[in-house]
Amino acid sequence: MHRLVYIQSPKKCYQLSLIILGTRITNSFISCVNWLAYTNHRLVQIFYLLITVGGYSLFYVEGITKNTPNSKVGEVTVIVNNVIFLYALFFYYKVCSVSPGTVNK
């Protein structure tokens, strides 16, 4: 199955593309796919960071500061939520600082 999906099918698609589209268009398409799949996209990273920080800020202002501590949620929740958010930002930094596919530690 692996050989069919990752080795034979791409080779056949490449050969068919060379026949139908020619060398120039096929190589342009392959370079676009490589750019989309194997490079970091700064605009996507900035958008993700804005959504993450904005969402957590909204949660912090509306959820934590107004509703804690109460009878069901203690002050430990505030600390745990902040630590989890900082871990998420740390892993986001780790993922963005290396090329795609090379994070192994």
Same-domain pairing of 65 and 92: yes
Listed residue (67, 87, 62) closest to 77, CA to CA = 67
- Torsion angle, alpha carbons of 45, 51, 53, 59, to 10: -160
Higher pLDDT: 3 or 52? It is 52
Domains held by the chain: number: 2
pTM, full prediction: 0.58
6-34: pLDDT as tens digits: 788 888 988 999 999 999 999 999 898 88
Element (H, E) at 62: none
Name every residue whose Cβ is closer than 8 Å to that of residue 44 and which is 6 or more positions away in sequence. none
Same-domain pairing of 73 and 91: yes
Same-domain pairing of 56 and 91: yes
Structural domain of 70: 42-96
Higher pLDDT: 34 or 51? It is 51
54-93: pLDDT as tens digits: 999 998 888 888 877 788 878 888 889 899 999 999 988 8
pLDDT at residue 23 in the model: 92
Same-domain pairing of 10 and 51: no
